[in-house]
């Protein structure tokens, strides 16, 4: 019995081992997976295998052109469906002056969907820019013909203040059926208004809304009392104002 056990131990001791197969198989599996992944990535990155066949640009445009937007994204779309950088496409379109907001997404298997919201200008800003309802100033490459919009202007950093003041003054002038054609805040922080009928108001620095409200109250009486055409009113007096008239043409 003891002799048989001893022979069995010797046989087990000298039996060839196959424990090295497990790590080798694991290594081969990893290598095969890595190679397969590399081949798959190379296949996916090939623009000829995964071309973008359609670029859909949607939005309501008055100043933007579809051809202009297509031209801006064409070089990036050529990289193929998986490689094209939708973030870079969005950034490139966002840099166009008349573009307000952009949404870019892939549509399986070969499309790119771009939704563009055009800027909505509420006024001109200075001589070569526009301002939107969020008081953001944007400057097109070409301003084109003067738009039928009021003109606002002010120092750097003051667009929001000027736009808010414009809205408040417009509301005050509504009973007179007059609007604002030009509102300026100068470097000394004084306000000047040109109304839609050509009348200029020197409002000054302090209490601008109270001064405009006072003008609205007395305007009908001032207009009725004068002779000729009222051209300017200086509201910078604490207890009154000065009116300037253009004499009527001689008969």
- What span, in angstroms and rounded, lies between the C-alpha atoms of 196 and 149? 11
Number of continuous H segments (helices) and E segments (strands) in the chain: 6, 12
Q: CA distances (Å), 46 to each of 39, 74, 108, 114, in order?
A: 11, 17, 16, 23
Would you state the pLDDT for residue 52? 87
Q: For the chain, where are the alpha helices, taking DSSP H only?
A: 2-13, 21-44, 66-77, 86-94, 159-173, 208-225
Domains and CATH numbers, the chain: 54-118 (3.10.20.310), 122-246 (3.40.50.11690)
pTM of the model: 0.77
Binning pLDDT at 50, 70 and 90, where does residue 44 land?
Answer: very low
Q: What is the pLDDT of residues 231-241, one digit of tens each?
A: 999 999 988 88
Would you state the pLDDT for residue 14? 45
Average of pLDDT values for 31-42? 48
Would you state the pLDDT for residue 224? 75
- What span, in angstroms and rounded, lies between the C-alpha atoms of 187 and 155? 6
Q: Which two tokens stand for residue 46?
A: 């090939």
Which residues fall within 8 angstroms of residue 96, CB to CB, at 6 or more apart? 64, 68, 69, 72
Which residues fall within 8 angstroms of residue 163, CB to CB, at 6 or more apart? 122, 123, 131, 135, 152
- What span, in angstroms and rounded, lies between the C-alpha atoms of 10 and 14? 6
What DSSP letter does each residue of 147-176 carry, written as one string? Answer: PSS-EEE-STT-HHHHHHHHHHHHHHHGGG
Q: What is the pLDDT of residues 50-103, one digit of tens each?
A: 788 899 999 999 999 999 999 999 998 888 888 889 999 999 999 998 999 999
Do 197 and 181 contact (CB within 8 A), yes or no?
no
- What span, in angstroms and rounded, lies between the C-alpha atoms of 102 and 89? 9
Share of the chain above pLDDT 90, in %: 62
- What span, in angstroms and rounded, lies between the C-alpha atoms of 230 and 220? 12
Least confident of 28-42, 197-211, 236-250: 28-42
Q: Which residue has the tokens 């207009």?
A: 223
């Amino acid at each position: 019995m003891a002799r048989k056990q001893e022979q069995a131990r010797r046989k087990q001791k000298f039996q060839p081992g196959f424990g090295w197969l497990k790590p080798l198989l694991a290594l081969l599996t990893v290598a095969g997976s890595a190679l397969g992944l590399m081949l798959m990535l190379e296949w996916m990155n090939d623009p000829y295998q995964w071309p973008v066949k359609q670029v859909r640009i949607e939005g309501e445009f008055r100043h933007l052109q579809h051809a202009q937007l297509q031209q801006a994204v064409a070089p990036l779309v050529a990289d193929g469906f998986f490689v094209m950088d939708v973030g870079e496409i969005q950034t490139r379109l966002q840099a166009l002056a008349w573009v307000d907001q952009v949404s870019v997404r892939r549509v399986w298997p070969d499309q790119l969907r771009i939704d563009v919201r055009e800027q909505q200008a509420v006024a001109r800003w200075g001589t070569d820019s526009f301002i939107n309802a969020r008081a953001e100033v944007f400057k097109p490459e070409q301003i084109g013909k003067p738009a039928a919009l009021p003109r606002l202007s002010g120092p750097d950093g003051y667009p929001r203040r000027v736009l808010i003041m414009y809205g408040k003054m417009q509301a005050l002038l509504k009973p007179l059926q007059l609007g604002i054609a030009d509102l300026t805040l100068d470097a000394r922080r004084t306000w000047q208004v040109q109304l839609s009928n050509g009348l200029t108001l020197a409002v000054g620095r302090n209490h601008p809304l109270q001064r405009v409200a006072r003008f609205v109250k007395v305007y009908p009486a001032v207009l009725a009392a004068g002779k000729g055409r009222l051209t300017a009113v200086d509201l910078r007096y604490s207890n009154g104002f000065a009116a300037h008239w253009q004499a009527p043409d001689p008969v």
